[in-house]
């Protein structure tokens, strides 16, 4: 029996108040879609299959290099983070898993953490390693890199940390390790560009060798920051080459914020899918760089175009199932509200992409009718599928309007009392 954090009677009350209006909107949309030959019920069933993992580090207020302005009732440890993740899933029914980050989330007792997650109806998605910060207890600094450091001792320490993450993940029931390193250089000439990548591949082989047979290793690239002249794993080409070198269990992870402005991310997605190396996503949105803004808040059309490629890839290969994770920083909102809204925005793009008339699109592409091809995509993108998403939530036991139900529940006020802030919780943040 799942242990619900918010009283289900409160969610039922919220739904009872909204159900009539939702049904009317759903019926109207159903009529409109049936005139287009689309069965709304099939789309709602598809929406219910959607799942995206919540990043444990997203439930606290993020921050920038300049400051962090914590909110009230922030989770103080991994067990409290799981409680917040359970609220997000209870209301959205779209986030059944959590992606942990070590050592930030290192549990005192991993078995007990897994039991807590089970009780809350949650599982664990990929675990993330952290060799982009030094920990108080570690012997060798990552100031000049981790998996690519010129210091062999630092490299070995970074490999060992990744293997520890795998071991913890095994106990938790995770099936993947995401590796992102901040390694790179701030000056031309600071590092040998080829030598650094050779060291990366050599270290990554040591991690890959420790992967269980049914695990994947996700290689996450990032154009810049913290290194500002060059990052070792800067782009999808490098990540692809590394994944090729490592083997079948190594795949590329696309964080939507980790590209130069105006990069055609959907084309990267298509390329990686074509060659069987698309492992998963970190969803977020951005205007300028790696802004870590809420998914779909700046460029929902780009998100839709990404899912349009994923829908195409899934048609070609029904076994295709990349891992979906959010990776955002919430600086001015309640993180639970941002994560719920973002999960729904990603789910929206997933459903809109399922609405694309692929036969018509293929015909327009074949006939070089650029205008109608573009209109075919726009038609799906412009369709307001909100009633489908709300109905999918309602049928799965979630809330018709997750943010409204959350606010009505008084959860944040309740945890503000239970979780007094830790001393020194402000300062600069990181995501
Ligand atoms: C780096 O910017 C990143 O996207 C990686 O996924 C990290 O693990 C995460 O953010 C948290 O810092
Ligand atoms: Mn990321």
- In this structure, what token pair is assigned to residue 104? 């930030």
- Cβ neighbour number for residue 374 with a 10 Å cutoff: 12
> 137 near 89, Cβ under 8 Å?
no
How many angstroms is it from 409 CA to the middle of ligand 1? 31
In this structure, which ligand is nearest to the CA of 58?
1
Residue closest via CA to ligand 1's atom 3 equals: 431
State the Cα–Cα distance between residues 200 and 53, nearest whole angstrom.
27
Atom 10 in ligand 1: which residue has the minimum CA distance? 431
Interval between CA 23 and ligand 2 midpoint (Å): 38
Mean pLDDT by 10 residues, the chain (431 residues): 96 98 98 98 98 98 92 97 98 98 97 98 98 96 98 98 98 98 98 98 99 98 98 98 98 98 97 98 97 98 98 96 98 98 99 98 98 98 99 98 98 97 64 54
- According to the model, what pLDDT value does residue 430 have? 58
Q: Give the closest ligand to the alpha carbon of residue 133.
A: 1
Which of 275, 200, 270 has the alpha carbon at shortest distance from 230? 200
Report the DSSP beta bridge partners of residue 324: 281
Residue 209 to residues 67, 102, 204, 227: CA-CA distances in angstroms?
40, 20, 9, 28
Question: Alpha-carbon distance 214 to 211, whole Å?
Answer: 8
- Counting ligand 1 atoms within 8 A of each CB, the residue from 54, 327, 335, 429 with the most, and so the one to mutate, is 327
Pocket residues: Cβ below 6 A from ligand 1: 57, 128, 180, 220, 222, 255, 282, 290, 327, 430-431
Helix axes 370-382, 300-316, angle to 10 degrees: 110
Residue nearest to atom 2 of ligand 1 (CA): 431
Distance between CA atoms of 85 and 126, rounded to whole angstroms?
15
Q: How far apart are CA 398 and CA 405, in angstroms?
A: 10
The pairing of strands 97-99 and 123-124 is parallel
pLDDT at 421: 81
Query: Which pLDDT belongs to residue 1?
Result: 87
For residue 167, the tally of other CB atoms under 10 A from its CB is 13
The Cβ of residue 119 has, within 10 Å, a number of other Cβ atoms equal to 13
Tell me if 101 sits within 8 A of 55, measured CB to CB.
Answer: yes
Name all domains of the chain by residue range, CATH numbers in brackets.
Answer: 50-350 (3.20.20.150)
Q: Which atom of ligand 1 is nearest to the CA of 290?
A: 2
Give the CA angle between residues 109, 111, 117 to the nearest 5°.
Answer: 105
Q: What is the pTM of this model?
A: 0.97
């Amino acid at each position: 029996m799942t242990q619900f954090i918010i009283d289900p009677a409160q969610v039922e009350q919220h739904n009872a108040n909204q159900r009539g209006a939702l049904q009317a909107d759903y019926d109207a949309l159903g009529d409109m879609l049936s005139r287009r030959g689309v069965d709304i019920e099939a789309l709602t069933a598809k929406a219910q299959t959607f799942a995206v993992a919540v990043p444990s580090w997203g439930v606290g207020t993020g921050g920038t290099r300049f400051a962090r302005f914590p909110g009230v009732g922030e989770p103080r440890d991994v067990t409290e983070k799981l409680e917040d993740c359970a609220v997000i899933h209870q209301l959205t029914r779209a986030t059944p898993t959590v992606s942990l980050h070590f050592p930030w989330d290192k549990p005192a007792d991993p078995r007990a953490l897994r039991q807590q997650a089970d009780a809350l109806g949650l599982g664990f998605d990929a675990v993330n390693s952290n060799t982009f910060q030094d920990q108080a207890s570690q012997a060798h600094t990552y100031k000049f890199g981790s998996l690519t450091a010129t210091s062999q001792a630092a490299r070995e320490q970074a490999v060992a940390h990744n293997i520890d993450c795998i071991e913890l993940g095994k106990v938790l029931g995770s099936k993947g390790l995401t590796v992102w390193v901040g390694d790179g250089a701030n000056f031309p000439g600071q590092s040998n560009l080829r030598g650094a990548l050779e060291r990366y591949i050599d270290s990554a082989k040591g991690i890959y060798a420790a992967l269980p047979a049914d695990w994947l290793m996700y290689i996450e690239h990032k154009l810049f920051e913290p290194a500002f002249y060059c990052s070792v794993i800067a782009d999808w080409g490098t990540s692809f080459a590394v994944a090729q070198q490592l083997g079948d269990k190594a795949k590329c992870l696309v964080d939507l914020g980790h590209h130069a402005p105006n990069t055609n991310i959907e084309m990267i997605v298509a390329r990686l899918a074509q060659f069987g190396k698309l492992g998963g996503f970190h969803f977020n949105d951005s205007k300028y760089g790696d802004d870590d803004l809420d998914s779909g808040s700046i460029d929902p059309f780009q998100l839709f175009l990404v899912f349009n490629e994923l829908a195409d890839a899934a048609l070609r290969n029904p076994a295709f199932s990349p891992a979906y994770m959010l990776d955002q920083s919430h600086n001015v909102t309640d993180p639970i509200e941002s994560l719920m809204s973002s999960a729904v925005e990603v789910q929206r793009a997933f459903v809109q992409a399922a609405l694309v008339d692929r036969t018509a699109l293929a015909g327009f592409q074949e006939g070089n009718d650029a205008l109608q091809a573009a209109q075919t995509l726009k038609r799906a993108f412009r369709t307001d599928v909100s009633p489908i998403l709300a109905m999918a939530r309602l049928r799965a036991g979630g809330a018709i309007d997750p943010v409204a139900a959350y606010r009505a529940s008084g959860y944040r006020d309740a945890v503000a009392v239970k979780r007094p802030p830790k001393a020194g919780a402000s300062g600069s943040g990181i995501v």
